[in-house]
Chains A and B, each alone.
Chain A
Amino acid sequence: MAEGDSLPDDAVVVRCGLPPFVNSPLDRGCRRHPVGLFGFSVQAAVGLTVQQLATACSNNSVGFTTVGEIRIMGYEVVRTSGEAHHATVVVPVDWSADAAEQLALIFQHATNPSPKKRARP
């Protein structure tokens, strides 16, 4: 899958951290990606499980959902460059904190079975 491609509905989406991300709200994680899309970062891929995608996260907890669920909420998920299976959930530039809280609620909690152990670069 190439950068800029939309992901299919059944692709799993993982976000590092404890959902519903109260202490690090989704709207505060938003930025403009170099390809020009505005949104927040996730791990997403077709055919990979939550556990597999969570290996990119150092956090002990992750939130997960699917691209289809995010689309139902009115947002697009696009493959973008970054670490591992990086993707961007595209949101409006003026995305409100309330809207971010609503979207955060669809992420379910999972314990990260193998938090990423980072080696010094």
Chain B
Amino acid sequence: MKTISADYNATTEAGYVCLTTRGSQEDILRLSLGPGDWAWLSDTEIMVGAQLAIDDRYGLVGVPDWDTLVHLDDEGADDFDHIMAELKPLLAKEPPSSKDEPRILELLTQLEHATRFNDGPPANLACRRALVLRQMGKLGLALIEMKEARRAQPDAPGFTFGYLDLLGLEDLPSAVSEAQSIAESPDVPALVLSACINILAMHAEQVSGEQFESTAEQVLAWCRRFDKAPDLDQVEPSLVALSYFNRGLVHLRAGQISQARQAFENAQRHYPLGPMLDEVTGLQTYDRHAREVAQRVRTINAEPFYASSVEFSMQPVAA
């Protein structure tokens, strides 16, 4: 985890944590962090996600997002079995409850601190934290967790997918550059390509004229590559549906209604759930409603990937 030593005694009137202490400064220098960046603040007893900012009076501060507060000093917070006994049922709960999300985040973080692993904390632990943070709407923090997972396993398509998905939600221009760079490789896995398509389709919605035309062409070209990918059968149905939805939206905006409807019907056939069920096949024109549906589809259809592809099995070296 990208962690800065923090002294919660040194807080401003507004409750921001002063990061001008010796301990904080050393970590900030080591991690090359600056205003605007997200990081975890920790005094080894409590931990919280925060965005760095400049306070006129106090200098560099962390603006904590207290929704992400984790107590490492709770009773049982250092006991692997205790943590897992509470965590497993919460992760398996159907349907999942948003009320459980902060507690899941807390337990996952306690688990990492309480356990010694053979080769450091497993990447899927960071990925799980990224998922719960994404569900909580904490995209900046989710992104640093997914980067952590990807750093541990750079060749795992799932972590690259998650990284692109979160980057697309947090910083679309950077995501477009990343997607174009990643998609240059002819061997890019279908899962990763689905994320690239999604990002470029989001970008297509924000541009107009010739730029739209060239972006739309690229979306459709990547979709054709996606359809022929040798590992297409390993991609979640919800993401296959998302690729059809994205090409449908491009066609819709270009006024190619019959092609759009065909793509939407394909999307619904692959994943007849959520907004796919009625709303998508009912789209006739590219308007505000279509863009709202697109936002929902993109958010919801990526989630089954996180839940299904990140196997949660881990064994500590010593509890």
- A-to-B contact residues, CB < 8 Å: 15-18, 23-25, 27-32, 34, 40-43, 57-61, 81-83, 86, 118-121
Contacts and interface: CB of A to CB of B under 8 A. Distances in A.
Given A28-B26, A41-B11, A59-B73, 6 more contacts: A18-B45, A24-B44, A31-B22, A41-B10, A83-B11, A119-B66
A8 B22 CA distance: 28
A83 B23 contact: no
7 contacts: A23-B43, A42-B9, A58-B69, A59-B8, A60-B45, A60-B74, A118-B64
A82 B21 contact: no
Nearest to A59: B45
Interface stretch (B12-20, B269-277, B310-318): B12-20
A34 B59 CA distance: 9
Contacts of B66: 118-121
B14 A15 contact: no
A82 B15 CA distance: 8
Contacts of B74: 60
A17 B10 contact: no
Contacts of A24: 5, 7, 23, 43-45
Contacts of B69: 58, 118
B2 interface: no
B12 A82 contact: yes
Closest 6 pairs (CB-CB, A-B): A28-B23, A118-B66, A41-B9, A23-B44, A29-B7, A41-B10
Contacts of B10: 29, 31, 40-41, 82
A112 to B, nearest CB: 10
B63 interface: yes
Interface string B76-92: 00000000000000000
Interface residues on B, range: 20 to 34
Interface of B: 5, 7-15, 18, 20-23, 26, 43-46, 57-58, 63-67, 69, 71, 73-74
Given A29-B22, A40-B9, A83-B11, A34 B43 contact: no
Determine chain B's interface SS by DSSP, over half rule: loop
Contact of A40 (B7, B67, B73): B7
Contacts of B65: 120
A82 B11 contact: yes
Contacts of B45: 17-18, 23-24, 59-61
A61 B69 CA distance: 16
Contacts of A57: 8-9
A83 B43 contact: no
B57 A34 contact: yes
B4 to A, nearest CB: 12
Contacts of A30: 21-22
B87 to A, nearest CB: 20
A25 B71 CA distance: 19
Contact of B5 (A28, A34, A43, A118): A28
Contacts of B58: 34
A32 B57 CA distance: 12
Residue from A17, A61, A81 having most chain B Cβ neighbours under 10 A: A17
A88 to B, nearest CB: 9
B43 A59 contact: yes
A43 B11 CA distance: 11
Contacts of B46: 58-59
A121 B43 contact: no
A34 B69 CA distance: 27
B9 A15 contact: yes
